[in-house]
């Protein structure tokens, strides 16, 4: 990513043809994990992926689904190792929030994933819960998007947002 001209970052919905490029930047899929490759392909085919790219190709992606109590949930946020700590993750979080069609937007990360926790905190997401039992010895932290909190408050007061 061109740090001197970050406006060259393009965010768009991925389509079915984008999955091989996403596999290449996903550290788990790139290491040969066939299950991860298959899920990336499925997410792209379903239209659930928001892709960040520049002239060099894909830099990151997020997956937005509505299977968490019918609220928005970022199932995956992945940034290419070479593009980390350059704002790609923050841009993806903001764009995913803007695309979310439900009143609330959540995500989660393992307690051991300090970079993701720092990213979420830096853009104002609030921790809202802890779940044990998904990954042995590494609980899952759940977060709520700040804009979703505001939308929820406005809707609770009977006002509409535009």
pLDDT of the residue at 5? 47
CATH number of the domain bearing residue 26: 3.40.630.30
**In this predicted model, what pLDDT tens digit does every residue of 62-101 receive, in sequence order?**
999 999 999 999 999 999 999 999 999 999 999 999 999 9
pLDDT of the residue at 6? 52
pLDDT of the residue at 52? 97
**In this predicted model, what pLDDT tens digit does every residue of 107-119 receive, in sequence order?**
999 999 999 999 9
Per the structure, how many domains does the chain have? 1
Structural element, H or E, at residue 56: none
Domain-embedded: residue 120: yes
Cβ atoms 22, 57 nearer than 8 A: no
Coil, strand or helix at 116:
helix
Q: Would you state the structure tokens that stand for residue 4, as one six-digit string? A: 């001197």
Phi-psi region of 77 (alpha: psi -120 to 50; beta: other; left: phi over 0): beta
Domain-embedded: residue 122: yes
The fraction of the chain above a pLDDT of 70, given in percent, is: 86
Domain-embedded: residue 161: no
**In this predicted model, what pLDDT tens digit does every residue of 9-24 receive, in sequence order?**
999 999 999 999 999 9
pLDDT at 44 over 90: yes
C-alpha to C-alpha distance for 1 and 9, rounded to whole angstroms: 7
User: Within 10 A of 44 (CB to CB), how many other CB atoms are there?
Assistant: 24
Domain-embedded: residue 1: no
pLDDT of the residue at 162? 44
Range of the domain at 25: 6-156
Could you give the dihedral angle defined by the CA atoms of residues 36, 38, 42 and 48, in that order, rounded to the nearest 10 degrees? 20
Which of 110, 85, 87, 106 lies closest to 97 in space, CA to CA?
A: 106
Cβ atoms 124, 146 nearer than 8 A: yes
């Amino acid at each position: 990513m061109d740090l001197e001209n970050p406006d060259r970052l393009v965010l768009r919905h991925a389509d079915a043809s984008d999955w091989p490029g996403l596999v290449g930047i996903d550290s788990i899929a790139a290491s040969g994990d066939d299950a991860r490759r298959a899920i990336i392909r499925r997410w792209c085919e379903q239209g659930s992926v928001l892709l960040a790219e520049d002239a060099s190709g894909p830099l990151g992606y997020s997956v937005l689904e509505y299977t968490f109590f019918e609220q928005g949930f970022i199932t995956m946020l992945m940034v290419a190792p070479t593009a980390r700590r350059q704002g790609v993750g923050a841009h993806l979080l903001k764009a995913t929030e803007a695309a979310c069609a439900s009143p609330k937007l959540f995500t989660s990360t393992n307690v051991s994933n300090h970079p993701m926790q720092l990213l979420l905190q830096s853009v104002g997401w609030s921790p809202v819960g802890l779940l044990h039992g998904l990954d042995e010895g590494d609980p899952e932290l759940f977060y709520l998007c700040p804009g979703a909190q505001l939308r929820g408050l406005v809707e609770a007061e009977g006002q509409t947002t535009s």
